[in-house]
Each structure stands twice: as C-alpha cells, then as structure tokens.
Amino acid sequence: MVKVGSQLCPRRTSRWPKTPVGWLATCLLGLPVALLFLIALASLTAGASYLGYLGSRATVFDTWGALHIVSTVLALIAVVGTALAVWRLRMVTALLFAALALPAPFVIEGSRCDTPASCQATGWAALPSGAFDWQVRIRSVTDPNEAMAIASRALFEAKVEDGPYLEKRFGDHWIVSTIDDDGWPGAHAVRIDTRTGRTAFVPCPEDRIQCGMERPTVSDGQRVYRNAQLGLSAVFPASLPVCTTRYDGGEPLGFHAMVRAPDIPCEDLDLFREMGIEVVWWRRNGCTDVENPSVPWRPLTPETSKLFSAQKLALGGFPALACEVREGGHISIMLYASPASGTDLGESYAAYVMTTPAHLVEDIRTFETFLRNVRLGAAARGQTD
C-alpha cells in the first residue's frame, strides 16, 4: 500500500522566491532584463522588416544582409529564451538570453557610422571596410536610380573624376553617360549588364542617348533646324542660341532659343525670354489646356493682336489658334496648328514666345520673323537644308 504523503509522490516545488532577499534579487535583476528584452524586441522588429525587404525588393545580398540575418536570429533567441526564463524565474538565465540581442546591433550601427557622434559611440564595433567588398546579385537592375548608383561607384573605383549624367535602358543593359565639372560629356559612358550588374566603360552612343549637357548653336539667320521624324523645321533669327527641346531630358520634341549668352548649357533653362517650336499631344478646349486647366490661357487680347502685322495668324501655312497668358510680369503667347495631311503620328504643333511687358513689341517682331520660316509635316520632311 502507498501511504498518503509518502516520498513516492513528491510535492511540486514553488518557483517563487521564499525569502525577502530572494525577492529583492529577482526585482533587481528584472530591471536590466526588462530593458534588454525591449531592445531585443526592437531589434527583432527591425530585422524582420529588413528580411522582408531582402526577400521582396532587394537586388543584392551582401554583408549588410548577412548582419541583419544574424541580428534577427539572435534577437529571436533572446526574446523566446528570456520569456521562458522569466516564466521560470531564472533571472540570471533570462539576463544572459536578453544580452544575446546586443552585439549585432552594435556591429551594424558601428559599421554604418551615419554621423560623427555615432562613429564615436559605436565605431569600436565596426567591421573592417574590406568586409563589405562582396555582394551577390539576386535580382536584375531595373531601377534607374540603382543604375546611376552602380555607375557612380564604378567611376569612383576607376578614379574617374566624371560623374553620371543620364541613364537609359537598352534591353539587356543600361548605358549611363558621364559629364565633367564644366558640363561637357565625359570620355566614356558606363555600360551595366542588367542581369549581373557588371560594368564596363564604352563610348557613349550619341545616336541613342544624350551624352552630356547640350551646348546651344548660335543661329546665323539661315541655318535650318529640322527634325524629319517629328515633321518640323525652323530658321531662328540671327545671333540667338538654339537648343533641342527634349521630353524629360530624353526624346526630342522640337527646338527653342533663349535670349542669353551662348555658352550656357541648354539644360540650364531660363524662361525669361524664349521662343520655339515643338510637337504637342495636349488636348485643348479652345485655349484651355484640358490636362492642366489651372494655367489661365485665353485668346489674344485686342491689344496683343494689334502688335502682330498679320490679321490672321498661321503656323507653317496652317490656320493657328492663338492664345496668351500673363502671370507674374511674364507674357506667353502660343500658336497651335495641325497640318491638314497630318504626320505619321498625327501630332499637332505649338510655336511660342515668352517675354516681358518691356520686351513685348520687340519680341513679337522677332517672333513673326521666326514664324515665316516654320515648316510642318510633309513640307518639313521634304525640305533640303
């Protein structure tokens, strides 16, 4: 027979402290454990976020990825281990588990070294710079910003003083043109393999990408500026510096001239006094730009109309809709027209002049001279320079 209370059925030992000293020690250890536990939770959250980025959007796996994986694993062990140890009131064990989350964040912050203060505080934990020289590409280069960053790094490592200027993707590779401190095209462009991210220095293909800041050409009053593909040509008044108008710095839209010194790059826009001709796809309801109705375009005022010598304004021999806007001491006048036969793409065209009240009469006279030599559509394509 088994006696009640015999040693064959021992009682469960309580995990609670049995003396005031035990309670005091438990509470004192609980403070650093709680602090380290919160640090571990924060490290686990940050690590999980980075691993999510690594699994969904990151293009390379490198030392930073490895550090965050180690940090996340240690933080997870710290959180689980600390929770179990506290549940059993093993506070020394809980403290050791919680401390596991500390080393990796110190190494990450010390290696990152964002500010002088952080460098001074955690620089002692930084990895050697050579530890960050390796990476494994896990996704193709599809983002223009990444292409620019890769080109910038390649130029730096090759000790080339030129900087990246314009990027463009061509199927399985990127071309990033370069530019020097004076705004002139660099000697070479950077070719980036889309799949591997490998770089090489190549001559810039000028027929496919703008290789540097465009310099204006000064019109002699006779040179024909023509784009047969767009179906437009024009002769600008003598002494005006002429540039190609481009869509977001890329595809050409037409030509424009600014009243200023001819040695300023075309990309440095100055809308103080300008005239030009370009192809447009804007939808209009009279003078109102349907896609940007906030600009207060309106038909020419009687006062402005009297400044033109022609009673009926035309653009390239075609009837034109004439509109103007006056804002902030600036006056813009635009003429819109569509060739009756159209172009291959069926575009419309806009010729414009931007001026000030003080130069209005002078610039309208110059604008009229410009309009007389504008050709559109088939007339521009069949024109010989």
3-state SS, residue 359:
helix
**pLDDT, position 145:** 95
Helix, strand or coil, per DSSP, at residue 152: helix
Q: Tell me how far CA of residue 123 lies from CA of 63, 65, 68, 120, 358, in angstroms.
A: 17, 19, 18, 6, 62
Closest by CA position to 237, among listed 253, 268, 258, 254? 258
Q: What percent of the chain has a predicted confidence (pLDDT) above 90?
A: 49
The distance of Cα 311 from the centroid of its chain, to the nearest Å, equals 47
Flag whether pLDDT at 371 surpasses 70.
yes
**Residues 6 or more apart from 36 whose CB is under 8 A from it?**
78, 82, 95, 98, 99, 101, 102
Q: Which helix (H) or strand (E) holds 239?
A: none
Maximum separation of any 2 CA atoms in the chain, in Å: 128
pLDDT in tens, 267-291: 887 778 999 999 987 666 678 776 6
Q: Does 46 or 285 have the greater pLDDT score?
A: 46
Q: Where does residue 252 rank: exposed (0-12), middle (13-18), buried (19+ CB within 10 A)?
A: middle
Residue ranges with strand state E in 180-292: 189-193, 199-202, 217-218, 225-227, 232-234, 241-246, 252-258, 274-280, 284-285, 288-289
pLDDT above 50 (res 1):
no
pLDDT at 26: 73
Average pLDDT, the chain: 86
CB 280 within 8 A of CB 255: no
Q: Which two tokens stand for residue 178?
A: 């370069």
Is the pLDDT at 332 greater than 50? The verdict is: yes
pLDDT tens column, 108-128: 888 888 777 778 777 788 888
Task: Find the mean pLDDT for residues 294-307.
Answer: 89
Q: Where are the alpha helices (DSSP H) in the chain?
A: 20-56, 63-87, 91-99, 103-112, 116-122, 144-157, 302-306, 360-371, 378-381
First-to-last CA distance in the chain?
121
> Is 0.85 surpassed by the pTM of this model?
no
Highest-confidence segment of 113-117, 160-164, 245-249, 380-384 = 160-164
* Residue 345 in this model has a pLDDT that exceeds 80: no
Q: Which of 233, 200, 201 is nearest to 219 (CA)?
A: 233
Looking at the chain, the number of H-run helices and the number of E-run strands are 9, 21
Least confident of 33-47, 117-131, 300-314: 117-131
DSSP for 5-47, written as a single string:
T-TTSPPPPP-S-SSHHHHHHHHHHHHHHHHHHHHHHHHHHHH
Banded pLDDT at 11 (limits 50, 70, 90): low
